Structure 1
Amino acid sequence: MTDATLIRKAISAAQAWGTPDRAPRLVQQRENTVFDVTLDDGRRIALRFHRAGYQDASRIASELRWMESLADAGFPCPWPQRTRSGALTDDCIGVTTSAVQWLNGTPICSGKEELDAGLMHDLGALLADLHLTSDAVAPTDLARPDWRASAFCCGDAPIWGRFWENPTLSTDEVALLRAARDAAKIRLAALPVDHIGLIHADVLQENVLAFDGLLYLIDFDDGGVGYRLYDLATALIQSCDSPNMPELAGSLMRGYADAGGPLPKTAFMDLPMFVMLRALASAGWVIGRVQPDDPRMRGYADRACRLAREWLADQKRGSTSG
């Protein structure tokens, strides 16, 4: 579909919220297609066409109800914008469409080669706020993805795909990832139930905006019930090759603890496992999105193998010393 066709569809879809006072601007075509739309009542919204086959309308509405409860409580995220009729979604153009408040801000990765410790401390505090506020105000009947053990290592259908079938993996690498999966399954089964709650599940740098000295969390598309520590892991995954990874991880954990996050400090010992689990998930996610010879296919596999190897080695050292 051409950009011009998408813009025409956006103009039609936006009518559910109001009349655009100028042509919508296409800003993103990834998991969802997103437009910057200014309505004639002065509101500026992010109009989203949701990718077919990922989240159904009930799950999208649940995402927006969760965000609405957070924003109403003062958590820094976009306010969902209801349609003229009061609905959270619309499908007048044959695509599930939603709108959220447009936030001015810059992704925290913009203009920087690497995040710094101070920013990671603030991000840890933001995630503590997310978990605490979600526990306090989120509706209890949300239909959202399940990010517990079955999402990663129980059964043959992980939520983001069978990562051990990444076509660039050697036989030995497949065995390595399976071994890491099986070891993680045992560890996950031992985690206390209070380590679980509503999580964002995709705290990548592009999903955290900085504006006027504050951080804002956007794109709750993947959010659901899961291990709280996974949010900290997704915040670190893009820095896992940095020589400053230990410092960044330490600052993130301190920020979370200093803000009174619901995870006890003893839980942080499992952070490397969750970083690895994100890497495994990404090695599966990429399979259906790029061609086998795309460098990203092997890049995700390399990262998963390295982190799996390191984590298994740490587990072996721990069991030996214990």
Structure 2
Amino acid sequence: MRVFNEAFYTSAARSALAAFGVDPGAHVTLIKHRENAVFKVENAGLKAVLRMHRPGYRTIAQLQSEAAWTSDLRGASVPTPAHIPGTDGEAIQIVKTADGIAIYVDLLEWVDGAPASDEQLVPTFAEVGRLTALIHEHSKIWQRPAGFDRPLLDQNSLFGKNGVWGDFAQLAGTSAQQQQLFARLADAVRADLSGFAKTRETWGLIHGDLMPENILKSPSGTIVIDFDDGGESWFVGDLATSLGMYLGTDMFDPLMAAWLEGYASVADPEVIGLERLPTLIGARLLQGLGWMHTRRDSEVARQMTPFVIGATVDFAENYLSG
């Protein structure tokens, strides 16, 4: 695993701009580094976001599929930033770093917005519920283009040895007792998900990471960003992701009520399998532990690991005793 070096990636980002016809001398500023290194690009009236995708996380077919998916979603009234194609007309470009590593990059329109404040959370969750329903309803009717490929996110790939974010069992800083508890939780969640039907009403394309930071409030309304984790999964998984960080807080119930109200304005939330919400929250927590392991060199992982371990312990004890 490469330790993130901001200067190295900023230099690589500048080199990537030529593929989009942008002056490499443009002003480039790192916004964040998690799955990808994300930069703000400003030049001669252009304001955009450049994503340098984490090597090995997504294939070029999966990234091209994300671009096709989000493009069609905009036509289905889901506001999300548009890709700015490269000089060859393709949304995804390949650049090589100074040490010869090939990295996939894309350029997207800039959104003037920010995550909701605490005071805006409840009404924002109603809007998130509405937009989530639009994403799910679109999935039911959209004819995927040839070669469409997004990750499968089921009981065998959400967490564990084949987890898309890594294996929770490899996370350092956990005791043997905690790992035994997590293994029991994983077995129970996997068994429960194995019995969760994959029907037109419960299964399809989900965003996969509808966290507050990916829901921006802008002058034009609520914008959904970062479909990088999206794939084929149970629809209720989107609710589990949105609510998971509020588990055990006073905000959980009002936020869930707001989300359901928003969803119901578009489609019936009762048919997506709400009774499986606790199971999907458990899957999300185990997935998060795997993420903490594979991103252990990042500042975010170092800060969040104790919290996620504690939350998963509390959840597992309740889930397994139920």
Q: Please indicate the TM-score interval, normalised by the length of the shorter structure.
A: 0.7 to 0.9
Indicate if the aligned counterparts of 1:75 and 1:133 stay in contact, CA closer than 8 A. no
- Are 2:77 and 2:134, in contact at CA under 8 Å, matched by a contact in 1? no
For the residues of structure 1 that align with 2:143 and 2:209, how far apart are their CA atoms?
A: 18
* Bigger Cα displacement from structure 2, 81-90 vs 163-172: 163-172
TM-score calculated relative to the size of structure 2: 0.86
Shift of 1:5: 4.8
Counterparts in 2 of 1:265 and 1:95: CA distance versus 1, 3 Å? closer
CA 1:116–1:11: 2 relative to 1, 3 Å: closer
Partner of 2:134: 129
Deviations 1:250-293 (A, max 9, x none): 221222123215x5357212212212211111112101322699
1:30 alignment partner in structure 2: 34
Q: Counterpart in 2 of 1:86? A: 89
In structure 2, the residue corresponding to 1:147 is in which secondary structure?
A: coil
Give runs of aligned pairs for residues 200-239 of structure 1, distance below 5 A: 200-212=207-219, 214-239=221-246
Equivalent residues in 2 for 1:1-322, closer than 5 Å: 3-20=6-23, 22-40=26-44, 42-93=45-96, 94-108=102-116, 111-112=117-118, 116-137=121-142, 139-140=144-145, 141-152=147-158, 156-194=161-199, 195-212=202-219, 214-260=221-267, 263-265=269-271, 267-290=273-296, 294=302, 296-313=304-321, 316=322
- In structure 1, distance between residues paired with 2:140 and 2:296: 37
**Structure 1 residue 213: deviation in Å?**
6.0
Contact 1:64–1:88 at 8 Å: present in 2 too? yes
C-alpha displacement of 1:4:
4.8
Give the CA deviation at 1:295.
Answer: 5.4
Question: Which moves more between the two structures, 7-16 or 236-245?
Answer: 7-16
How far off its partner does 1:236 sit? 0.9
Residue 99 of structure 2 aligns with which residue?
A: none
Letter in 1 for 2:274: F
- Conservation of the 8 A alpha-carbon contact between 1:70 and 1:138: no
Letter aligned with residue 72 of structure 2: S
Give the 3 Å change call, closer, same or farther, for CA 68–264 of structure 1 in structure 2.
same
- CA RMSD of superposed structures (Å): 2.6
SS of equivalent to 1:96: strand
C-alpha contact (below 8 Å) 1:47/1:97 kept by paired residues:
yes
Which whole-Å deviations, capped at 9, do the CAs of 1:95-115 have from their partners, x for residues lacking one?
A: 21111111111122xx43x76
Deviation at 1:242, TM superposition (A): 1.7
Residues in 1 aligned to 2:289 and 2:5: alpha-carbon distance in whole angstroms: 30
SS at match of 1:15: helix
Deviations 1:191-239 (A, max 9, x none): 2222110011111111111112621111111111111111111111221
**Deviation for aligned residue 1:247:** 2.0
**Contact conserved, 1:166 with 1:301, CA < 8 A, in 2?**
no
1:190–1:28 distance in 2 versus 1, CA, 3 Å:
same
Query: What TM-score, normalized to structure 1?
Result: 0.86
C-alpha distance after superposition, 1:31-87 (max 9, x if no partner): 2112222354x4432111111121122221111111122124332111112112111
CA–CA distance in structure 2, aligned partners of residues 15 and 286 of structure 1: 34
Q: How many residues align?
A: 308
Structure 2: runs of 5 or more not aligned: 97-101
CA distance in 1: counterparts of 2:14 and 2:124, whole angstroms: 38
In 2, distance between residues paired with 1:280 and 1:120? 24
Structure 2: which amino acid aligns with 1:24? V
Q: Is the 8 A contact 2:236 2:272 kept in 1?
A: no
Structure 1: runs of 5+ lacking an equivalent? 317-322
String of CA shifts for 1:139-177, please: whole Å, max 9, x gaps: 254211111111236x73222222134333333332322
In 2, the alpha carbon distance for the partners of 1:209 and 1:102 equals 12
Matched to 2:128, the amino acid is: L
Going from structure 1 to structure 2, the CA distance change for 1:176 and 1:8 (only over 3 Å counts) comes to closer
Give the Cα separation in 2 of the matches to 1:19 and 1:159: 33
Q: CA deviation at 1:3?
A: 4.5
> What displacement does 1:240 show?
1.6
Is the CA contact 1:257–1:265 (under 8 Å) kept in the aligned structure 2? no
Secondary structure, aligned partner of 1:193: coil
